[in-house]
Amino acid sequence: MFPLKLGRIMSFKPFFRHFQDSSVLWSWAFNGVRTASGIILLPLLLLKLSKADLGMFYTFGAITQLVPIVDFGFAVSVGRFVSYAMGGAEDIKAHGMGAKTTTTTPNYQLLWHLLFTTRRLYSWLSLIALILAGLFGTAMVGMAIEETTSPELTWVAWVITLSSMVLEVYLGWWNTFLMGMNEVFYSARLGTLVNILKLILASVLLFAGVGLLALPIATLVSSTLLRYAARRRCYQLLHCHSAPKSFETKHLLEKLWPNSWRVGIQVLSSYLRNAVTLFICTKAFNLESTGTFGLSLTIVAMIQSLSCVWTQVKWPAVGQHLMRHDYASIHSLLRPRFLMQFLTFGLISVVLIPLCPICIAWFSVTKQVMPMPWLIVLTLNSMLELHFTFWTTLMSMENRLPFLWPTVITNACSLLLALALVQFTSLKLGALVLAPLLASGVFNYWYWAIAGAANLKTTWWNFVFRTAPLCDQRLVNNRRNAGMLCP
């Protein structure tokens, strides 16, 4: 019996070793811990906080959403340029990738210059975050602080939240830099462990009765540890080089800015679309309908975030292959992960979507998701959005964003269509689901898949259904001449 049991244990060793070394599995673990944090902490918050304190907690959360807006797309550009430098790029351009590189050795001098430039840039951005959040956030908190259980404690909680937010801007780029260096596995594992610490610390503090202070303290401690560990890892990987001169820093900033502000506009556009959609929902219907719509969106977003892990962990490696114009390797790297991404989305959706109403009714008779037909349409739109995001991310890895203004226009059209459907039809919440599907389906959901595949020197059909990495070059040239390829 003992040798048999020992043999079974030994047979599981490769599985555990694969789990320890898998970026995808650690990224799933990271998302799982974040989801579990919400499931575990929400009942504790409902139990330990008064209604007014809970409202103030969500006010804090709304203010901290300013972080990606203050970043204004610089994190995306920094991550992209770091992956280029890891691929051996001699220099970076404001638009496009520049000349093909033949070396596989990282350009440590360029990486070092990027590090110093990014550090200086985020020092300025953290100051902007402090001013904006300090003025706007303090005004919002002060408007209702007398309604909370302890105004003095609430002010302390707000100061810690503001400090955490500014530090997130000032130090958060270290993890972006680490991801750009293709340290996805290390970053995912570190993020998982730190989020477990955050969950434990927040739970202990809530049980200890510190109220609103619990989450801000846990966030500040965990975020600081995460950024410090990422910083330490970056310095371990980088060889020591001389710091760039001031004119070299300015030169790099001038190259970071053109596509960063474009990403910032896209992020702001999506943020405003989501915020205005919820505002329309609240005004046209009621707060209870907003809760139903928001809960449905959360469930579908969770399915999407779990599915995109397959490709998300490989974008830094794609940037390195692009610098060598190695499209065959990109095809071989991304195609199976692209398929697994949508297989994962389909499997989770088939299992989770029918069970959602049953599970939610079991947990709470007062909460519900949207009717099943509309929930299926919402899931379909999320899947198409995942497809759109894959191809536009691939195109953006070439340091070009030709899809920016079509995306902004589509977001605006989606809001106008939602208003029209709410006003002139009886679709109710279905109007908010149908509007983005129709608006994006006209152009974005199909065009950029074709253009993105052409940029990869292939076709969408060839990429999805065939293992051959390259298609006929004449077809690629035809698509370029037709304007379906970035120049």
DSSP string, 378-402: HHHHHHHHHHHHHHHHHHHTTT--T
pLDDT for res 222: 87
In a domain, 253, yes or no: no
pLDDT for res 343: 95
pLDDT for res 431: 94
Distance between CA atoms of residues 348 and 386, nearest Å? 14
Residue 461 · residue 332 · CB < 8 Å = no
In a domain, 250, yes or no: no
Q: Where are the alpha helices (DSSP H) in 285-326?
A: 287-307, 309-312, 315-323
What total of structural domains would you count in the chain?
2
CA distances from 5 to 19, 114, 358 (A): 21, 53, 40
What is the C-alpha radius of gyration for the chain, rounded to an integer number of angstroms?
24
- Beta-carbon neighbour count of residue 179 at 10 Å? 23
Q: Which of 244, 274, 291 is the last residue of a domain?
A: 244
For residues 279 and 237, membership in a common domain is answered with no
Q: What is the pTM of this model?
A: 0.77
CA distances from 252 to 5, 121, 258, 342, 434 (A): 60, 10, 11, 38, 43
Q: Which of 194, 214, 244 is the last residue of a domain?
A: 244
For residues 202 and 80, membership in a common domain is answered with yes
In a domain, 165, yes or no: yes
Tokens 């490989």 correspond to what residue? 314
For residues 368 and 483, membership in a common domain is answered with yes
Distance between CA atoms of residues 89 and 325, nearest Å? 12
Q: Where are the alpha helices (DSSP H) in 49-107?
A: 51-64, 67-71, 74-86
Find the domain containing 344 and state its range.
Answer: 261-487
CA distances from 304 to 252, 310, 311, 325 (A): 34, 11, 12, 30
What contacts 24+ positions apart, CB below 8 Å, involve 30-35?
Answer: 30/188, 30/191, 30/192, 30/195, 31/302, 31/305, 31/306, 31/309, 33/192, 33/195, 33/196, 33/199, 34/195, 35/302
Query: What does the block give as tokens for 172?
Result: 């958060």
In a domain, 14, yes or no: no
For residues 311 and 417, membership in a common domain is answered with yes
pLDDT for res 485: 43
pLDDT for res 363: 60
For residues 30 and 179, membership in a common domain is answered with yes
CA distances from 117 to 81, 305, 405 (A): 12, 31, 28
Its sign, for the CA torsion 304, 305, 308, 310, is negative
For residues 277 and 409, membership in a common domain is answered with yes
Q: Which of 209, 244, 279 is the last residue of a domain?
A: 244
pLDDT in tens, the chain (487 residues): 434 444 444 444 554 454 455 667 777 777 667 666 666 776 677 677 777 777 777 777 777 877 777 888 888 888 888 888 888 888 888 787 766 776 778 888 888 889 888 988 999 999 998 998 888 888 888 887 888 888 888 899 899 989 988 888 888 888 888 888 888 888 888 888 888 888 889 889 888 888 888 888 988 898 888 888 888 888 888 866 666 666 677 888 888 888 888 888 988 898 889 878 888 887 888 767 777 887 788 789 888 988 888 898 888 888 888 888 888 889 989 999 999 999 999 999 999 899 887 877 776 555 678 899 999 999 999 999 999 999 999 999 888 899 999 999 999 999 999 999 999 999 989 999 999 999 999 999 999 999 999 988 889 998 998 765 554 444 445 544 544 444 3
- Reference 403, options 266, 271, 308; nearest CA is 266
Residues 6+ apart with CB under 8 A from 101: 87, 88, 89, 90, 323, 324
For residues 353 and 466, membership in a common domain is answered with yes
In a domain, 8, yes or no: no
For residues 357 and 267, membership in a common domain is answered with yes
Query: What does the block give as tokens for 148?
Result: 């909370």
In a domain, 256, yes or no: no
- Beta-carbon neighbour count of residue 355 at 10 Å? 10
In a domain, 118, yes or no: yes
For residues 169 and 236, membership in a common domain is answered with yes
pLDDT for res 434: 95
For residues 333 and 437, membership in a common domain is answered with yes
**DSSP 8-class letter at 172:** T
Tokens 């995942």 correspond to what residue? 386
For residues 145 and 276, membership in a common domain is answered with no
In a domain, 20, yes or no: no
For residues 226 and 316, membership in a common domain is answered with no
Distance between CA atoms of residues 297 and 282, nearest Å? 15
Distance between CA atoms of residues 471 and 7, nearest Å? 48
pLDDT for res 14: 52
C-alpha of 99 from chain center: 30
Residue 272 burial class via C-beta count within 10 angstroms: exposed 0-12, middle 13-18, buried 19 and up: middle
